[in-house]
Amino acid sequence: METVAENKCFGGVQGVYSHASKATGCDMTFGLFLPEEARDGPVPVLWYLSGLTCTHENAMVKAGAQGWAAEQGIALVFPDTSPRGEGVADDDGYDLGQGAGFYVNATQDPWKPHFQMWDYVAEELPALVTSEFAIDAERQAITGHSMGGHGALTLAMGRKGQYRSVSAFSPICHPTASDWGRKQLKAYLGTDEAAWARHDAALMMRDVGFDGPMLVDTGTSDQFIDLLKPEALAEAANARRQEATLRLQKGYDHSYFFVSSFMEDHIAFHAEALYA
């Protein structure tokens, strides 16, 4: 692992690090905010998964999360959204390939050799950061925006017991029934739609749910709301009687102005679960 940058931030340290990933077969970069409390021992961690076209840097710079995390004594990890580099498959579209990993383990060529983002986020990167930094592996929570909201919800429901709480900003809730999903799931996982179900939050909610608190915010003026399908997740949560707070925020869109407006709520929500 190499240190790209470290800056003092709200009494703690905002770092950027790179490492050779076995899961993705290439070098990966991630951001990590450690609050001041990490000097004295391991702290709980909140994972933030970003959306289409993003790198580790978008949320790290735009979400306004570090101040609220410092107040709660929580670490933040900002992974990249896909493998990158020479020899890594890509596509001309913004919504497939580099910058659009969709947090799945690809089974189809040309994506299979590198696009193992589920394993990277759920297993490899947590093992690395908990071994190299003062982070408590037993106290993890997860959130994300858009494609990252999809990843946060499906990882939380698919990795039983790993995360104490889950939240999402404008998540892609029902990708098997959306143009933001069908294209990518077919490319990465093939034509058997049964293999897609474990990467669809609405379907997973009906199937397994989440054993813990859930918070989801979507703006009523989100320009992509028809692709996000928040109503599908709400219907599934109601059918399962899932513990969840699902909110439509009047007038907000899909941008980081929206994300930063509700970041305090989300970090406080996770802090309650992480310190329970």
Active site residues: 146, 222, 254
**69/31 Cα distance (integer angstroms):** 14
Locus of tokens 């909201």 = 149
Listed residue (253, 240, 96, 81) closest to 175, CA to CA: 96
Sheet holding 12-21, edge to edge: 2-9, 12-21, 26-34, 75-78, 43-49, 135-144, 166-169, 214-219, 245-249
**1/113 Cα distance (integer angstroms):** 21
Tell me whether residue 264 is exposed, middle or buried, using C-beta atoms within 10 angstroms of its C-beta: 0 to 12, 13 to 18, 19 or more: middle
DSSP reduced 3-state for 32: strand
**102/96 Cα distance (integer angstroms):** 9
